[in-house]
């Protein structure tokens, strides 16, 4: 099978050298078919070569190969060789998309921008509309960025889910995140990428349980939202009171399994909340938010657990199915230390701050 992958890559390289679009498409089909049959170790062996090819392509053709290589990583290939070329392609597509949006607004055209997947007619309409102000060549370049941005963000979201080290050192993070914030209303799927770029890994939290007066230090990693945080906090604090925990919280172990690394086929049912989480000011921490949204208080993120003011439940799934979540209980605070922290934080709020 390695020979099939090598052969497909060789055909791809030849097609690119010959500038033969038809041969490029045929070689991509061969590479995809060979990759679907290959085990993870063979995909790992071929991926550096694919990444080298990817680095030579313009963003249009590159987006197709990046998407395929991302699928190989999802099937078990080591994602490391892909990180730089995918980040570079994503950055360039996003740069062009941001310029297109700016130029579009500058024209004073009240019509909305096309969506994430443009038709040929929409693509041509963008080029025609922009050509008068930026020239046809630049208009085509900007339209290509807009049209391929979603294709570039898809392999990026795969890589960011699969490997914590990728999240730790993803190139151009700040610039790409800024672009997500600017464009997400026009390209909503960027919210997935935006969320992954703000995931906290090896992040300490101080957790205070107001009703019992207990406090804990925990470390989180790979949590895509506060639904996950809620489920894993409950699982970590469920246990004997004599060990400083909160007793039997009546949890279904399936909730924590799904919040950690259970495969998508195990998703399902409803998870239930056991707390009303708040930050150090007393403002509610919404499950729909992310751990990165929790504000720092004296150089750490603080979660205060109050009794639930109403029944909380949510779909028992994981926002990023390929990303493993974890929450480790590091220390049970001595009673006096927990009391000192509880004296510093804001009171429980009956009505959430909006």
Polymer length in residues for the chain: 354
pLDDT in tens, 230-262: 999 999 999 999 999 999 999 999 999 999 999
CA angle 27, 30, 34 (to 5 degrees): 140
d(CA 179, CA 196): 14
Evaluate if residue 294 carries a pLDDT over 70. yes
Q: Average pLDDT in the 135-164 region?
A: 95
Q: Average pLDDT in the 281-293 region?
A: 96
Confidence of residue 351 (pLDDT cuts 50, 70, 90): low
Name every residue whose Cβ is closer than 8 Å to that of residue 203 and which is 6 or more positions away in sequence: 219, 220, 221, 291, 301
Residue from 44, 46, 66 nearest 55 by CA: 66
Confidence of residue 268 (pLDDT cuts 50, 70, 90): very high
Both tokens of residue 306?
A: 């109050």
Evaluate if residue 296 carries a pLDDT over 60. yes
Evaluate if residue 4 carries a pLDDT over 80. yes
Both tokens of residue 38?
A: 């290959």
Q: What is the mean pLDDT of the chain?
A: 94
Evaluate if residue 352 carries a pLDDT over 80. no
What pLDDT does 84 receive? 97
The pTM of the full predicted model, rounded to 2 decimals, is 0.93
285: left (phi over 0), alpha (psi -120 to 50) or beta: beta
């Amino acid at each position: 099978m390695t020979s099939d992958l090598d052969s497909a890559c060789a055909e791809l390289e030849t097609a690119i050298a010959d500038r033969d679009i038809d041969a490029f498409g045929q070689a991509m089909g061969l590479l995809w078919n060979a990759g679907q049959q290959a085990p993870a170790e063979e995909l790992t062996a071929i991926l550096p070569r694919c990444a080298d090819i990817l680095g030579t392509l313009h963003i249009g053709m590159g987006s197709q190969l990046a998407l395929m290589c991302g699928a190989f990583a999802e099937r078990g290939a080591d994602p490391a060789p892909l990180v730089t070329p995918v980040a570079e392609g994503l950055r360039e597509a996003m740069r062009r998309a941001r310029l297109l949006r700016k130029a579009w607004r500058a024209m004073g055209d009240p019509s909305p921008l096309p969506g994430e997947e443009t038709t040929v007619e929409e693509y041509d309409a963008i080029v025609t509309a922009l050509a008068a102000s930026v020239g046809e060549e630049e208009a085509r370049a900007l339209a290509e960025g807009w049209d391929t941005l979603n294709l570039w963000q898809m392999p990026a979201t795969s890589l960011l889910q699969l490997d914590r080290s990728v999240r730790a050192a993803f190139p151009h993070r700040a610039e790409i995140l800024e672009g997500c914030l600017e464009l997400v209303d026009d390209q909503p799927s960027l919210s997935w990428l935006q969320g992954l770029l703000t995931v906290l890994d090896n992040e300490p939290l101080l957790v205070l349980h107001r009703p019992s007066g207990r406090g804990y230090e925990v470390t989180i990693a790979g949590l895509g939202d506060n639904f996950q945080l809620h489920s894993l906090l409950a699982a970590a604090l469920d246990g004997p009171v004599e060990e400083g925990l909160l007793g039997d919280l009546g949890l279904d172990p399936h909730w924590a399994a799904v919040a950690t690394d259970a495969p998508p086929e195990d998703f399902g049912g409803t998870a239930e909340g056991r707390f009303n989480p708040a930050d150090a000011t007393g403002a509610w921490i919404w499950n729909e938010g992310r751990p990165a949204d929790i504000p720092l208080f004296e150089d750490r993120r603080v979660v205060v657990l109050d009794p639930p003011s109403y029944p909380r439940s949510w779909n028992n799934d994981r926002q990023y199915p390929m990303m493993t979540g974890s929450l480790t209980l590091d220390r049970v605070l001595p009673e006096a230390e927990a009391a000192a922290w509880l004296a510093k934080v804001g009171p429980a709020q009956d009505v959430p701050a909006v």
